[in-house]
Structure 1
C-alpha cells in the first residue's frame, strides 16, 4: 500500500472520525455494559482493570462511579500522594504499573504543586533517565532528553496524541492545565507510531469531576513574576449526565535575562457527557498565549564554562539579543475529544481525536558565533539577526477496539488500532549576517541593524497512517506476555516557496515495528521483566542540500525489576537498557540552521526510580541514572565519541513532609538535591562541561481550606552551564527562583 494513494486527508479523516457513529448505533445493552463502562471494575479473567481509557471520563468516572471509592486509581485522574498505581501510556489499556514490562514514571498533581513546577522542564527534574533544560534557561520551549536521546521534537504527547514539534513550529503546554505527567522510557512506536527510542512524555489534561470543587491561587516571586490561577468544575445536571471543568492560568514578569519577559495565559474548558453507563464523551479544549524572548543566549565556552582572556565570565543576566529586538510570541489552541463505548463484557471501542493549531514569531539578535574576529580580549560577542514566522496545523485521530476474553488456555486483552495524523507547517526563516557585535562589559543596544533576508520559505506536509495490534496474554496468573506489532505508511512533502518550487522534494516510507515483553509478578510485590522493542520515526524537513531525510529507526533491549510491596506506600523500579539508534539527525557542520544524518548512536545504561508516600505526610521522589553514549557510525571526527549536550550520569532526591497531628498540624517543609555529571562541548570531546549540584527547598502551611507556600530552586544561586552544543553555543542554567503562593479550595 502506497502513501500517495491515501493523500485525500479530508476524506480519510471523515471516514476515520465516522467510525464512532457506527459504535453508537450498535445495539449493545446499556445494562450489560454498565458493569464495565462507567466504573473501574476488577475482572476475574484478567488483572488489567477497566478499559484503555481506563474510565474515560477521567475524574468523573473515578469520583462518581466508584473508582476512587473502591481504591482503584483512574489512570487519567489524580494520584494519591506520589505513588501512582495505573497507567494507559505504556499499553493504551488500563494496566497496573506493577504489570507493565517497561520503565515508566508518573508525576501527579500533588507533586507538581509541591514543587510549584510551572514548566515541563521543572516538572521532570526528579525523574530517572530524564535530562531537562538542555538549552538552559530557555523560556520558549521544553527541551528533554530520555536515556540520552532528544524527545522534544517527536516524543512529546498530550492525552496520548503527539504534539509534534519541528523546526520553529512547536507547542508548549502550561503545566497548570495538567492532572499528571507520564514519562515512558524506551521505544513506544508500536502503539504511537512515532517518538524517539529514548521514550515519550505524555501530558494528561485535567478533566471534569463528579463532585463540585473550586480552587483559586495567586503568587509571585523572582524577576518580578506574578501569577493567578483558577480551577473549578463539577456536575451540570441532577441526572449525572453532564459534567464540566474550567481551568485558567496567567503569569507575567521578567526572567533572569535583563529585558526578557515571560508572560503566559491559558484558558482550558472541558465537558463530559455520559448518557448511560456504557458511553462517555469528553471534550478537551485549551487556548494559550506566550510572550517571551530568546533567553538561552548561545554563549562561548570561554567566558561561561571557563574564564575568558581577561579572567572574566559573561553575566547570566546579559541580554545577548537586544532589549529593543528580542521577542518570541506564540498562540496555540487544542480542540479534541475522547470517546468510549463499551458493547459488552468483551468488546469496547474508543476514539481520540484532536485538531491543534500554533503560530509563532521570533525576531532576535543571536550569539552562537563566538567572539568577534581579532578580539584578543574576548569581550565582543559576534551576533547575527534571526527571524522566523511559523504556522502549524495538526489533525490526529486514534481508533481503538479492545477485546477481553479467554481462549480456553490463556486470558487475553487484545488491542487493535488505526491511527492517522496530518501535519502542515508553513515556515519562513530569515537572517542577517553579521549583526553588530555586543560588548558584554558595556552593552549598547541600538535596535535592528537591517532587514533579515529569507533563506528558507517552505510548506511542509506530513501524513502518517498506522495499523497496530497488541495482545496482553496471561500465560498464568503471574506471568504476562505482551506482544505487539505495527505497520506505518508515511508521506513527507516539502514545497520550496522561496525558489518557486525549484527545491520541491518528498518521499514516501513504510515501516514495521514490534515489541515482545515478559513480566512475572511474585508475591510480595516483586516483578522482574524483560522486553525487546523497535522504533520507526519518519522525519520532517530537508537537509542543507534540499533532500528529505530517511526514517530514523532504533532497537532496545531492556530488563529490570519492579518492587511494590502491598500496603507499604512505595514503588521502586530498577532497569538496564541497550539502545541502538540509526539515521540520527545532528546539526550540520556546514550550516547550523540545517541538520544532517551523520550516523548511529548507542546508549547503554542503568536507572533507578523511587517514589514513596511511606506514612502520613511524607512523600519522596528520587532517581539515579548512568549510561554510556557512543557515536558508532558517522564521520571520522565523531566516530567513537560521546555526543554533545548530554550528561551521562545524574542523581536526585526530593522529600516533602507535612506534620499530620498536633499543634503544628498542616505545617510542612522539604527540599531536594540534584546532581548532574559532566558532559562534552564539542564533537571531538576535547572540551568538558563540569558536573554541578543544585539544591531546592520549600515550606508550606495548610489550614482549613487555605494553603500558603514558598518554594525555591537552585537555593544557593549557583551559576552553572547546563550544557554546550559547540564551543560557541553554551547555555547558563536557571538562577535561583523563589515563588510564594496563596491558595484556597472549596
Structure 2
C-alpha cells in the first residue's frame, strides 16, 4: 500500500505546538454569537420509552415552543436510543446522517446492566468481542471487527487512552455518561486507533440543574462498593457549574486470594461567561489494587480435560496470595474550551495530561505442565514497573456556511501527542533461581524464592502531529457527501538502558483519507457507502530490538440505517471489507510482539436499539466475519488468527411497569452467544462456542431504587480465548450484585 518515510524532525513538533498556542490566542478574544449549552443530567435508570417510575432526567431549559432541547452529543441518552454523536465526525451530527457504523451505550443502559468495566458495558454491542483475555481486572480487552483494539483503540473524551505493553490505564465506568463504539478506520480525524475502530468514553460533566445521587451495593466474591455523584450551579451568577463523582470498592474476584480494590474521585468544573464561550475542566484520580486474574493456562486442562482427566479450577491462583500483586495509580487532568467566534466559525481546544504508575510482581504459568500426568503447572516469576505520561492537545475550527450551491460543515484541525514510557521488566531467569511448580490438585503457597532481575529497561518516547480537514457537504437536503484527509508526522524513539547499542529510532509520515455518501429518505431510511484508509504509528520494538513499522489499513463499507420518526427505534446494518497491514501480534510464550504481514477481515454487523413501549428497552446485535492472514510466515498464510471468534450474537431487554399497583417494578435479562475460535496458528485446536445468560430485577419507589443483577447466571465455565496451546483464559464466572440508590 504505502511506504514509510523519514522526513520528520523535532523542529516540526515544536512548530506545531507553537501554532496550536497561537491559534487559541487569536480566537479567545473574538466576539461570541452562538450558544453553548450545558448537558442535561441523568442519575439513574429510566428512559424515553416512557419510564416515569425512574424519574430518569433532570431537564434543562426548554427551547421555543416548550419542546426539550435536542440531545447533547456529550450528554445523557434518552432511554437506550441515542440520536447524536460527536465521535465519528468530531462535530455535532445526527447518527442517522453519519455514514459510518457506530453504537452509543448510554448511562441508563450501563446502570441497568450494572456494568462495572468497559468490557462488561460493551458485551451487547455489534462488532465487539469483549473480554478477549478473560476475567482480567487490570485492563479492558476487546476486539473490533476481529482486531485487538485495547492498545490504540481506547479513547476518553476524544483523546487517546493509550495502553502499550505493561503501561496501562483503566477508566472507571461510574464516571462515564456514555460509551461510543465507532467501527471502521477513524485515523482521518484521530490519527490513531487500529482500522477495526475505536471506543470513545464520554466523561460526566457539570450540569445546569442541581442534583445528587448515592449508591451502595455488594455481592459475589465479597465485593462491597459505594458511589456518589453530585453537581449543579456553583454560584448565583449562572456562570460556574460543578460536578463531583466518586466510587470506592473492596473485595475479591473469582480467583482465590486476588483482590479487586479501587478508589476513584473525579472533580469537574465549567465556566460559561457568556452564551458562546465555555471552559470545562475535567480531572480524575484512581488507585487500583488487584492481582493477575487472567491466568495463562494450557489448553489441556481448560478447554479439554488434561492427561489425568482433570480440569484446572477456575478459582486457582496460579501465582501466590502473598506475591500476586498488581497496583496502579492514574491521573487525568485537562480541559475542553469552546468559543463561538461569529455565526459561522467556532473554535475548540481539548487538552489533557494523563499519568499512570503501575507495578506487578507475580508468578505466572505460560509454558504448560511440569509432569506427563499434567497435574503440576510450570511457573516463573515476572516483575514490571511502568510509568506512563501522555500529553495531548486537539485544536478544531468549525465553520457552518452556505456557498450559494451547497451547505457545508467544515472542520479544520491540528493535534499533537507526546507519549513517554519508562518500562522495567524482570524475571527469575535473569537471576538464575527456580520457581516451584504448582499442583492443581493440592496447591502449596508461600514458596517465595527471590526477586527478579531486569531483562528490559527501556525509555520510550513517541510523538505525533496531525493536520486534518473534513467537509460534510449537503449536496441536496437528503444527500450528504463527507470528505476528509489527514497528514501525520510521527517519531518513535526506544532508548535501551541495559544495552544502549540496541536503542532505535524511526520517523514516519503518511496521509489518511475518507470519502463517504449517505442518503436520508424522509421515512427514516439512510443507505450509505464509504471508503477510508488509516495510519497507526507503532510504539516500541520487537524481541530483536527493531522498531515496529507503522500499521496501515484500508476499508470499504456499505450499510443502511433506519430511524423511523416517533417510533423510538434505531437499526444499523453494515457490510465491510477491511485489510490491515503490519499487524502487531503477541509472540506465544514471551512478553514480546512481532508484526504479521497482512490480515483481512470481511463481515456483516447488525445493531438494533429500541425504546419499544412505555418502560421497555431492547438492545440486539449480530456480527459475523471471515478473518484470514494474507501475508506473513508460511504457517500463518491462509489461516485465521488465534483468539478471535468470528460469530457473535446477543439480545438484552429491560422492562419497568409504568403504572398500576406494580408501578416501578422492573425486570429483564439478556443472552450472549460467542462462536468458536482457534487456539493455535495451525488452526487445529478449537475453543468451543458458548452461550451466557444475564438477568436483573429492580424496584423504584420515589427517589429510591433497589436492584439485583446477575451475569452468567448459570455460572458456565468457559474459555474466552487462547493465544496458543499454553495460553488460554477463563471467562467471567457468575457475578451477582445487589444495590440500593437514592437521588435528589
Query: Which of 392, 402, 408 pairs up with 2:404?
Result: 408
Query: Which of 6, 29, 41 pairs up with 2:11?
Result: 6
Q: Which residue of 1 aligns with 2:43?
A: none
Correspondence list, 1:268-279, <5 A: 268-279=266-277
Shift of 1:3: 2.5
Shift of 1:66: 4.5
Compared CA separation, residues 183 and 731, structure 1 to 2 (3 A):
same
Q: Which residue of 2 aligns with 1:422?
A: 418
Q: Which residue of 1 aligns with 2:48?
A: none
467-476 or 445-454, which deviates more: 445-454
Q: Which residue of 1 aligns with 2:727?
A: 729
Correspondence list, 1:303-702, <5 A: 303-372=301-370, 375-433=371-429, 434-499=434-499, 501-588=500-587, 592-702=590-700
Contact 2:62–2:68 under 8 Å retained in 1: no
Q: Which residue of 2 aligns with 1:52?
A: none
Compared CA separation, residues 166 and 66, structure 1 to 2 (3 A):
farther
Q: Distance in 2 between matches of 1:274 and 1:282?
A: 9
Q: Distance in 1 between matches of 2:335 and 2:341?
A: 20
Compared CA separation, residues 436 and 66, structure 1 to 2 (3 A):
farther
Deviations 1:36-70 (A, max 9, x none): 44489xxxxxxxxxxxxxxxxxx999824759953
- SS of match in other structure, 1:6: helix
Compared CA separation, residues 3 and 63, structure 1 to 2 (3 A):
farther
Shift of 1:323: 1.2
Q: Which residue of 1 aligns with 2:24?
A: 20
Q: Distance in 2 between matches of 1:267 and 1:18?
A: 33
- SS of match in other structure, 2:264: strand
Query: Which of 80, 83, 94 pairs up with 1:82?
Result: 80
Deviations 1:672-729 (A, max 9, x none): 0000000000000000000000000000000000000000000000000011111101
Shift of 1:16: 2.1
Shift of 1:614: 1.1
Deviations 1:457-476 (A, max 9, x none): 00000000000000000000
Contact 1:62–1:73 under 8 Å retained in 2: no
1:259 paired to 2:257: yes
Compared CA separation, residues 62 and 497, structure 1 to 2 (3 A):
farther
Compared CA separation, residues 400 and 720, structure 1 to 2 (3 A):
same
Q: Distance in 1 between matches of 2:497 and 2:454?
A: 11
Compared CA separation, residues 7 and 416, structure 1 to 2 (3 A):
closer
Q: Which residue of 1 aligns with 2:185?
A: 187
Shift of 1:302: 0.6
Provide the aligned length of Structure 1 versus Structure 2: 718
Compared CA separation, residues 39 and 359, structure 1 to 2 (3 A):
closer
Contact 1:169–1:391 under 8 Å retained in 2: yes
Contact 1:60–1:208 under 8 Å retained in 2: no
User: Which structure exhibits the higher relative contact order, with contacts defined as CA atoms closer than 8 Å and separated by 6 or more residues?
Assistant: 2
Query: Which of 728, 741, 744 pairs up with 1:743?
Result: 741
Q: Distance in 2 between matches of 1:598 and 1:520?
A: 38
Q: Distance in 2 between matches of 1:7 and 1:382?
A: 50
Q: Which residue of 2 aligns with 1:44?
A: none
Q: Distance in 1 between matches of 2:447 and 2:266?
A: 37
Contact 2:424–2:458 under 8 Å retained in 1: yes
Contact 1:39–1:65 under 8 Å retained in 2: no
Shift of 1:2: 3.7
Shift of 1:13: 4.0
TM-score normalized by the length of structure 2: 0.95
Q: Distance in 1 between matches of 2:58 and 2:217?
A: 32
Contact 1:60–1:209 under 8 Å retained in 2: no
Contact 1:325–1:447 under 8 Å retained in 2: no
Q: Which residue of 2 aligns with 1:115?
A: 113
Q: Distance in 2 between matches of 1:144 and 1:72?
A: 32
Q: Distance in 2 between matches of 1:721 and 1:284?
A: 38
Contact 1:39–1:61 under 8 Å retained in 2: no
Contact 1:78–1:109 under 8 Å retained in 2: yes
Q: Distance in 1 between matches of 2:59 and 2:535?
A: 35
Compared CA separation, residues 699 and 328, structure 1 to 2 (3 A):
same
Q: Distance in 2 between matches of 1:64 and 1:288?
A: 34
Q: Distance in 1 between matches of 2:86 and 2:409?
A: 13
Q: Distance in 2 between matches of 1:692 and 1:453?
A: 41
Q: Distance in 1 between matches of 2:393 and 2:21?
A: 7
Q: Distance in 1 between matches of 2:479 and 2:503?
A: 52
- SS of match in other structure, 2:378: strand
Contact 1:104–1:185 under 8 Å retained in 2: yes
Gaps in structure 2 of 5+ consecutive residues: 1-5, 40-55
- SS of match in other structure, 2:258: coil
Q: Distance in 1 between matches of 2:195 and 2:596?
A: 17
- SS of match in other structure, 2:96: helix
Gaps in structure 1 of 5+ consecutive residues: 41-58
Shift of 1:596: 1.1
Query: Which of 286, 289, 298 pairs up with 1:288?
Result: 286
- SS of match in other structure, 2:60: helix
Shift of 1:436: 1.2
657-666 or 11-20, which deviates more: 11-20
Q: Which residue of 2 aligns with 1:43?
A: none
Shift of 1:449: 2.2
Contact 2:60–2:69 under 8 Å retained in 1: no
TM-score normalized by the length of structure 1: 0.94
Q: Distance in 2 between matches of 1:18 and 1:264?
A: 40
- SS of match in other structure, 2:670: strand
Q: Which residue of 1 aligns with 2:166?
A: 168
1:718 paired to 2:723: no
Shift of 1:362: 0.3
- SS of match in other structure, 2:330: strand
- SS of match in other structure, 2:165: coil
- SS of match in other structure, 1:414: strand
Q: Which residue of 2 aligns with 1:63?
A: 60
Q: Distance in 1 between matches of 2:13 and 2:416?
A: 12
Contact 1:39–1:62 under 8 Å retained in 2: no
Shift of 1:380: 0.8
Shift of 1:22: 2.2
Contact 2:38–2:208 under 8 Å retained in 1: no
Shift of 1:310: 1.3
Shift of 1:513: 0.3
Contact 2:138–2:326 under 8 Å retained in 1: yes
Contact 1:38–1:61 under 8 Å retained in 2: no
Q: Which residue of 2 aligns with 1:45?
A: none
Shift of 1:71: 4.1
Deviations 1:590-627 (A, max 9, x none): x6221111211000000100011111100001100000
Contact 2:13–2:465 under 8 Å retained in 1: no
- SS of match in other structure, 1:435: coil
Compared CA separation, residues 116 and 60, structure 1 to 2 (3 A):
closer
